[in-house]
């Protein structure tokens, strides 16, 4: 929980008000009365602010990545007044701001099928496979906005969730920050879909990250879109074109090796040992080239350094490739991702923790909201291990396993659910379930349960999954 700052005296408030500095949500200090930090002091006590409270939602969803948009659409369709906050200027998270372009583990009933159908109607999928495919991020951006608007979700972009307050165990209020200043919002149920577990941490939940709190954790990667003369001409270097398989001639790894040969010819080496090109459209490809090691998802200074390094690397590699001429002639970076891709964020403790053992035994759960079929992908933790083994798969065989609803419900705080990367799981399990097909399915489950809980005055843990699944079926989301 956030602790209140020093006392905000009535005298100071009246003084600021007299200066005309107090508005609905904001307070600026008069020059003479500014609570300046004293020289030599280690901490600054920020004065508290009086914020108007908005009580217009049954369900508040924080973070609009694949999990968040799914949670919000589903909660709204289930009849809950739903608010969705997103710090970026678009919805979609890693799908859009992160320019992912590739989707794994998408062959599931529900919203996944609807998204596939809508992408196909817009001719925005390539190299189609029932479970994984390339999509066009800009089309996805518009599509998820339209779906949220159509469902009646109240969206607020460019708004960061910055604090959370409880009454006892119960999460009651969150604080957002944006150009509108700081605002307070209450709701019976909240869903943390920030990927990094920001809301769970702010609310005081226990959490884990990486293999331990000081990392080692999976590296970050910045994706980029590049314009080329002809994506088809890059055939043998572009993954998932010749075949859907990862290995064998024409498979992903062969394409990676061929591309690495070209990089060598151009005199550059990438920090990611499996540099990959994904074909997005006739003259558009996605480049996944770099790894940034040991950066915590909640360390802004380190994330900024990693972002600047990654962007510089992308442009350096593009320039080197261009110098080769031939199929690389006129390759240009159209855009690099606004958000560096974060693989490892906080995993909020839930009422069940998905573990490596679940993957080994192919766990079946009575409250299964999603069956994961994707294996374990652990990207190297350091530059040295990247040279030896860029991606490891845990050293065991993964059986398809269930994610139970309990892993989506916070253990330490009532009225809080999670979906996507930040659910309750261990390092190994997270390295498997984190891909976006599962994020969507988890978002749907959290959305429907949150809506039922909010509308019936119950807590999420008091809603049986059969009730949630029944509601999804009624809504046509379990086909
Ligand atoms: C480089 C990379 C490659 C990957 N490759 C694949 C792949 O090929 N296929 C695949 O399916 N998956 C892949 N993944 C995994 C997958 O993309 C993620 O695990 C997935 O994004 C999980 O979805 P999410 O909705 O939980 O999180 P995110 O997509 O991270 O969404 C979280 C959202 O919350 C917002 N947010 C965060 N904090 C706040 C806050 N405090 N206030 C308001 N908003 C906030 C963010 O801006 C973001 O929009 C990859 C991931 C990375 C990083």
pLDDT exceeds cutoff 70 at 38: yes
For residue 409, give every residue at least 6 positions away whose Cβ sits within 8 Å of its Cβ, in sequence order, or none. 350, 351, 416, 417, 418, 460, 461
pTM: 0.93
What atom of ligand 1 comes closest to residue 68's alpha carbon? 25
CB 68 within 8 A of CB 84: yes
CA of 98 from ligand 1 middle (Å) equals 7
pLDDT exceeds cutoff 50 at 273: yes
CB 478 within 8 A of CB 448: no
Q: Which domains does the chain have, with CATH numbers?
A: 59-213+353-474 (3.50.50.60), 223-336 (no CATH)
Q: At what angle do helices 436-456 and 465-474 cross, to 10 degrees?
A: 100
- Quick: pLDDT tens for 365-402: 999 999 999 999 999 999 899 988 999 999 999 999 99
Q: How many CA atoms lie within 13 A of 396 on its CB side?
A: 13
Q: What is the pLDDT of residue 129?
A: 80
pLDDT exceeds cutoff 80 at 249: no
pLDDT exceeds cutoff 90 at 65: yes
pLDDT exceeds cutoff 60 at 17: no
What atom of ligand 1 comes closest to residue 66's alpha carbon? 25
Which of 72, 84, 95, 100 for mutating ligand 1's site (highest number of atoms within 8 Å of CB)? 100
pLDDT exceeds cutoff 50 at 2: no
**Confidence band, pLDDT 50/70/90 cuts, at residue 39:** confident
CA of 347 from ligand 1 middle (Å) equals 13
pLDDT exceeds cutoff 70 at 32: no
The residue whose CA has the least distance to atom 12 of ligand 1 is 435
Q: What is the pLDDT of residue 217?
A: 93
Structure tokens at 331: 């390759």
- Quick: pLDDT tens for 151-172: 999 999 999 999 999 999 999 9
pLDDT exceeds cutoff 90 at 33: no
Does the C-beta of 443 come closer than 6 Å to ligand 1? no
CA of 434 from ligand 1 middle (Å) equals 9
**Confidence band, pLDDT 50/70/90 cuts, at residue 8:** very low
pLDDT exceeds cutoff 80 at 11: no
């Amino acid at each position: 929980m956030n602790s209140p700052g020093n006392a905000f005296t009535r005298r100071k408030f009246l003084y600021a008000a007299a200066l005309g500095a107090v508005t609905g949500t904001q307070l600026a200090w008069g020059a003479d009365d500014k609570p300046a930090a004293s020289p030599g002091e280690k901490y600054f006590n920020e004065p508290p602010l009086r914020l108007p409270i908005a009580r217009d939602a049954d369900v508040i969803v924080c973070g609009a990545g694949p999990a968040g948009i799914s949670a919000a659409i589903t909660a709204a369709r289930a009849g809950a007044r739903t608010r969705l906050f997103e710090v970026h200027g678009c919805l979609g998270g890693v799908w859009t701001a992160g320019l992912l372009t590739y989707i794994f583990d998408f062959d599931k009933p529900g919203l996944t099928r609807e998204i596939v159908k809508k992408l196909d109607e817009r001719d925005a999928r390539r190299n189609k496979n029932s479970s994984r495919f390339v999509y066009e991020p800009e089309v996805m951006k518009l599509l998820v906005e339209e779906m949220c608007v159509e469902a009646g979700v109240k969206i607020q972009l460019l708004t960061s969730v910055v604090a959370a307050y409880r009454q006892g165990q119960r999460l009651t209020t969150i604080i957002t920050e944006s150009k509108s200043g700081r605002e307070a919002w209450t709701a019976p149920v909240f869903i943390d879909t920030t990927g990094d577990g920001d809301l769970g941490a702010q609310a005081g939940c226990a959490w884990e990250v990486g293999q331990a709190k000081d990392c080692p954790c999976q590296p970050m990667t910045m994706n980029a879109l590049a314009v080329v003369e002809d994506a088809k001409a890059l055939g043998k270097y572009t993954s998932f074109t010749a075949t859907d398989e990862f290995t064998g001639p024409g498979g992903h790894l062969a394409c990676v090796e061929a591309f690495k040969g070209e990089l060598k010819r151009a005199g550059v080496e990438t920090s990611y040992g499996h540099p990959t090109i994904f074909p997005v459209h006739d003259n558009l490809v996605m480049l996944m080239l770099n790894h940034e090691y040991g950066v915590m998802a909640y360390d802004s200074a380190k994330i900024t350094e990693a972002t600047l390094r990654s962007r510089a690397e992308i442009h350096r590699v593009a320039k080197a490739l261009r110098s080769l001429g031939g199929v690389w002639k006129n390759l240009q970076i159209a855009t690099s991702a606004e958000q560096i891709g974060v693989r490892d964020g906080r995993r909020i403790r839930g009422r069940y923790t998905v573990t490596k053992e679940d993957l080994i035994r192919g766990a079946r759960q009575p409250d299964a909201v999603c069956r994961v079929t994707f294996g374990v992908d652990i990207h190297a933790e350091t530059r040295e291990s990247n040279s030896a083994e860029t991606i490891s798969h845990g050293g065991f065989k993964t059986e398809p396993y269930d994610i139970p609803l309990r892993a989506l419900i916070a253990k330490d705080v009532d009225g809080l659910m999670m979906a996507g990367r930040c659910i309750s799981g261990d390092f190994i399990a997270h390295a498997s379930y984190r891909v976006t097909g599962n994020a969507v399915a988890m978002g749907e489950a959290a959305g429907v349960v949150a809506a039922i809980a909010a509308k019936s005055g119950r807590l999420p843990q008091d809603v049986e999954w059969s009730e949630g699944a029944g509601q999804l079926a009624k809504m046509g989301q379990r086909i």
